[in-house]
């Protein structure tokens, strides 16, 4: 038997109601704040991710699903394509490509869909996983960052998770980061021999990533490292102060997390993660931040932006622990006894469904006992019993599975009666 690919997963019908509820809750909330859905391709040119996420990140160095797409005779080289490992790069590309900045550069987007990273599969980590994304283009305002963080907190609250904490840091900007980088590089160089291979290699090109390394030796070497938050320029400090003050005003719980640098190169100023204790002291359910340099870096005008990505798989796991999803049960199960009754009842079933009554019917020739068993198993609220006797008498029996009360429903007004009662 062919099994699914390692690190990939099926989301089975028993889980889907929860996923749908999460998505609906997010859409409702995001749209209230003027976010519009954008749908982007699952594949892009490899270069887009390499340039936006950063050549020295784990994602680009090790985790992308990249392949050469065969070209026609005219083109020289095959084109390298990658299954998207995140959404921001594509949304930025779309924003630039469709010149959405012309006129009013302010746009708020959201999207949801699968992402692909060739990470080591483990509990809660998949190679195809899902994210819910939101991005705000065209404003450098600290309040845009606050809106994003507050939306995340509210989304989780609406889903029954009220112990969230936003972890916050500032990554500075091109004004203040270079000087900090030098200070940090000097610190790292003095301890270079204690760092892991990845960090040895990355430290010159992206020393901030060393702060983010999960390897114990690197963590220990970095305990006394200078913190970016203490080296911000006035503008970045003011920006960060607005974020924290506004979050406090809104009673959004947050903590300062000086080591939060995030894996991606294009972040500036505010960076954040949303944590909850529901799954124990696990990593974040969502992360994001400001990326003021990315639109320009990808060939657009200089336009600031800010956004986040929620780990949908993790969020679903968290919400499932808080509020186990009920598998939806039909309002009605139609139990025909005998060929003739089945032929009469089948059109009722089709019409009831068309009228929006959730219903099911026995399509084979099972006994009434077997049918009642099935109606119980699927949790049908009512069962409509119709056999030869009922056809002769001109009325079917509607049984309330809760109260066990039964009533006769005249056949000539059957669909209308049931729509009125159960619709
Ligand atoms: P990132 O795009 O790396 O900032 O990730 C944002 C969120 O996506 C994280 O907080 C995780 O919840 C989730 N996430 C990232 N990678 C994976 C993965 N391989 N499997 C499941 N969830 C993931």
Which CATH number goes with the domain that contains 378? 3.40.50.800
One domain for residues 306 and 362: no
**Residue range(s) defining the domain that contains residue 160:** 16-176+232-322
Run means of pLDDT, 10 residues per run, the chain, 423 residues: 95 93 97 98 96 85 92 78 97 98 97 96 92 98 98 97 95 91 91 88 82 86 91 97 98 94 77 91 87 95 97 95 82 97 97 96 94 96 97 97 96 96 89
Q: Whose CA is nearest to atom 14 of ligand 1?
A: 311
Q: Among all chains, which residue has been given the structure tokens 């954008």?
A: 38
C-alpha of residue 60 to centroid of ligand 1, in Å: 15
Residues with CB under 6 A from ligand 1: 86, 117, 119, 125-126, 129, 131, 263, 284-287, 309, 311, 313-314
C-alpha of residue 311 to centroid of ligand 1, in Å: 5
User: CATH code at 114?
Assistant: 3.30.930.10
Q: Give Cα 254 to chain centroid, integer Å.
A: 21
One domain for residues 145 and 262: yes
Closest atom of ligand 1 relative to the 124 alpha carbon: 21
Closest atom of ligand 1 relative to the 283 alpha carbon: 10
Asked whether residue 140 is domain-assigned, the answer is yes
One domain for residues 347 and 271: no
Asked whether residue 184 is domain-assigned, the answer is no
Predicted local distance difference test score (pLDDT) of residue 374: 96
Q: Give Cα 102 to chain centroid, integer Å.
A: 29
One domain for residues 92 and 238: yes
Q: Whose CA is nearest to atom 17 of ligand 1?
A: 125
One domain for residues 284 and 401: no
C-alpha of residue 117 to centroid of ligand 1, in Å: 9
Asked whether residue 207 is domain-assigned, the answer is no
One domain for residues 317 and 360: no
Q: Whose CA is nearest to atom 18 of ligand 1?
A: 125
Asked whether residue 209 is domain-assigned, the answer is no
Give tens-digit pLDDT for 31-67.
999 999 999 999 999 999 999 988 878 888 899 999 9
Spatial CA neighbour of 242 closest among 147, 138, 177, 164: 147
Asked whether residue 410 is domain-assigned, the answer is yes
Last residue of a domain, one of 322, 350, 384: 322
The answer to whether 118 and 62 are in contact (CB under 8 A) is: yes
SS3 annotation, the chain: CCCCCCCCCCCCCCCHHHHHHHHHHHHHHHHHCCCEECCCCCEEEHHHHHHHHCCCCHHHHHHCCEEEECCCCCCCCCEEEEECCCCHHHHHHHHHHCCCCCCCCCEEEEEEEEEECCCCCECCECCEEEEEEEEEECCCCHHHHHHHHHHHHHHHHHCCCCCCEEEEEECCCCCCHHHHHHHHHHHHHCCHHHCCHHHHHHCCCCCHHHHCCCCHHHHHHCCCCCCHHHHCCHHHHHHHHHHHHHHHHCCCCEEECCCCCCCCCCCEEEEEEEECCCCCCCCCCEEEEECCCHHHHCCCCCCCEEEEEEEHHHHHHHHHHHCCCCCCCCCEEEEECCHHHHHHHHHHHHHHHHCCCCEEECCCCCCHHHHHHHHHHCCCCEEEEECHHHHHHCEEEEEECCCCCEEEEEHHHHHHHHHHHHC
One domain for residues 137 and 247: yes
Closest atom of ligand 1 relative to the 86 alpha carbon: 2
Asked whether residue 219 is domain-assigned, the answer is no
Q: Whose CA is nearest to atom 21 of ligand 1?
A: 125
Q: Whose CA is nearest to atom 23 of ligand 1?
A: 311
Asked whether residue 379 is domain-assigned, the answer is yes
Last residue of a domain, one of 293, 322, 351: 322
One domain for residues 150 and 52: yes
Closest atom of ligand 1 relative to the 288 alpha carbon: 4
One domain for residues 281 and 410: no
Report the alpha-carbon distance of residue 35 to residue 40 in Å, rounded: 15
Predicted local distance difference test score (pLDDT) of residue 322: 85
Distances (CA, A) of 365 to 154, 291, 337, 370: 50, 63, 7, 10
C-alpha of residue 342 to centroid of ligand 1, in Å: 50
Closest atom of ligand 1 relative to the 117 alpha carbon: 19
Give tens-digit pLDDT for 159-176.
999 999 999 999 999 899
C-alpha of residue 154 to centroid of ligand 1, in Å: 20
Spatial CA neighbour of 268 closest among 334, 184, 176: 176
One domain for residues 317 and 403: no
Asked whether residue 98 is domain-assigned, the answer is yes
One domain for residues 349 and 248: no
The answer to whether 359 and 332 are in contact (CB under 8 A) is: yes
pTM for the predicted model, two decimal places = 0.90
Last residue of a domain, one of 322, 346, 366: 322
Spatial CA neighbour of 359 closest among 297, 316, 273, 419: 419
C-alpha of residue 39 to centroid of ligand 1, in Å: 19
Closest atom of ligand 1 relative to the 126 alpha carbon: 20
Closest atom of ligand 1 relative to the 119 alpha carbon: 19
Query: Ligand 1: which of 54, 87, 274, 309 to mutate, most ligand atoms within 8 Å of CB?
Result: 309
One domain for residues 387 and 418: yes
C-alpha of residue 124 to centroid of ligand 1, in Å: 9
Count of structural domains within the chain = 2
């Amino acid at each position: 038997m062919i099994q699914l690919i390692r690190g990939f997963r099926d989301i089975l019908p028993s889980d889907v109601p929860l996923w749908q509820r999460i998505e609906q809750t997010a859409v409702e909330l995001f749209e209230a704040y003027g976010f519009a859905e954008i749908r982007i391709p699952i594949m892009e040119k490899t270069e887009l991710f390499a340039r936006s996420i950063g050549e020295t990140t784990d994602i680009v160095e090790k985790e992308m699903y990249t392949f050469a797409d065969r070209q026609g005779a005219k083109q020289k080289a095959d084109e390298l394509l990658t299954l998207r490992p995140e959404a921001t790069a594509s949304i930025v590309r779309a924003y630039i490509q469709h010149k959405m900045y012309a006129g009013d550069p302010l746009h708020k987007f959201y999207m949801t869909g699968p992402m692909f990273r060739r990470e080591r599969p483990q509990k809660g980590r998949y190679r195809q996983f899902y994210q819910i994304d939101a991005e705000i283009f065209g404003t450098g305002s600290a309040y845009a960052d606050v809106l994003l963080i507050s939306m995340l907190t509210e989304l989780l609250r609406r889903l029954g998770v009220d112990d969230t904490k936003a972890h916050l840091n500032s990554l500075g900007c091109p004004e203040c980061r270079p000087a900090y980088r030098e200070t940090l590089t000097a610190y790292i160089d003095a301890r270079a021999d204690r760092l892991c291979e990845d960090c040895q290699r990355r430290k010159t090109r992206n020393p901030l990533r060393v702060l983010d390394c999960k390897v114990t030796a690197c963590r220990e070497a970095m305990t006394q490292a200078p913190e970016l938050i203490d080296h911000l320029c006035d503008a970045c400090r003011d920006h960060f102060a607005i974020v924290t003050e506004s979050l406090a005003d809104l009673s959004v719980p947050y903590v300062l997390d000086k080591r939060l640098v995030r894996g991606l190169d294009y972040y500036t100023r505010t960076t954040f993660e949303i944590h909850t204790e529901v799954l124990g002291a696990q990593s974040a359910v969502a992360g994001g931040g400001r990326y003021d340099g990315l639109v320009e870096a990808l060939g657009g005008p200089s336009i600031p932006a800010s956004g986040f990505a929620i780990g949908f798989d993790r969020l679903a796991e968290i919400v499932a622990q808080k509020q186990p999803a009920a598998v939806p049960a039909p309002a009605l199960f139609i139990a025909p006894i005998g060929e003739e009754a089945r032929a009469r009842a089948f059109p009722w079933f089709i019409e009831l469904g068309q009228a929006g009554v959730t219903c099911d019917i026995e399509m084979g020739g099972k006994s009434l006992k077997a049918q009642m068993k099935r109606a119980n198993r699927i949790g049908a609220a009512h069962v409509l019993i119709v056999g030869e006797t009922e056809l002769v008498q001109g009325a079917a029996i509607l049984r309330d599975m809760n109260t066990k009360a039964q009533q006769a429903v005249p056949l000539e007004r059957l669909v209308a009666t049931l729509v009125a009662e159960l619709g």
